[in-house]
Amino acid sequence: MNLDPKAIREKLGIGDDKVYGVIGEFDDPHELVQAGRRIREMGYTKLDAMTPFPVHGIDEALGIPRSILGWIVICVGLCGTATAFLLIWYCGAINDKFVIGGKPLFDFTFSIPIAFELTILFSAFASFLGMWALNGLPRLYHPAMNYRDAHRASDDKFLLVIEADDPKFEAQRAAEHLRSVGAETVEVVEG
């Protein structure tokens, strides 16, 4: 049994030599989108971008699929609507058959305000919790923060990342490719 600490760290995928990816820095969002398209055309599939504001077209350029969050919110919202109607029907027509002033035991029109409120409530919870789950939050650490100018991605720089998980990834070649598409600064970032 080998108890060498370096071998154990390598087996677990942790340590000083673990590479997260290569990050290239751009000044302009249009340059970032064009670079993302060209890098993707080179065969890279594990790409990411960090920008100070939403950049139109970056998702298509990097091949990021549309989020399923909208479908989750619609489905859970409709469950809220069904829950409201079922609750009102059960309380009025099954559990407490109490007729007041000739009102029917269950009427759709009286149920609309409660159904609307529960639809909004369920949708809000679904969007909040779904966003956290789909984004893998809470995440207190991300390897991209090891980039020396990572803070500038929230200020005035646009970063393009080629992740080491990409099947075509070789650190030096990826760095050369980022330079060839116009990256000002390129850095290999350790995880």
Distance CA 163, CA 16 (A): 17
CATH of the domain at 181: 3.30.70.2750
Residue 4's pLDDT is what?
53
Q: Does some domain include residue 58?
A: no
Shared domain for 74 and 130, answered yes or no, is: yes
Q: For residue 66, what are its two tokens?
A: 């549309």
pLDDT grade, residue 10 (50/70/90)?
A: low
The boundaries of the domain holding residue 168 are: 19-52+156-190
Tokens of 159: 């970063």
Residue 140, domain member (yes or no):
no
Check whether residue 76 and residue 129 sit in a common domain: yes
Which residues have C-beta within 8 Å of that of residue 87, sequence separation ≥ 6? 114
Return the structure tokens found at 63: 């091949």
73, 128: one domain: yes
Is residue 93 located within the same domain as residue 124?
yes
Residue 143 within a domain: no
Stated pTM of the model: 0.74
For residues 49 and 32, the answer to whether their CB atoms sit within 8 Å is yes
- Total structural domains within the chain: 2
Residue 108 maps to a domain: yes
Q: What pLDDT score does 16 carry?
A: 52
- Kindly write down the DSSP assignment for every residue of 72-115, as one continuous string: HHHHHHHHHHHHHHHHHHIIIIII-----TT--S--HHHHHHHH
Question: Bridge partners of 25?
Answer: 159, 185
Which of the four pLDDT bands, split at 50, 70 and 90, describes residue 8?
Answer: very low
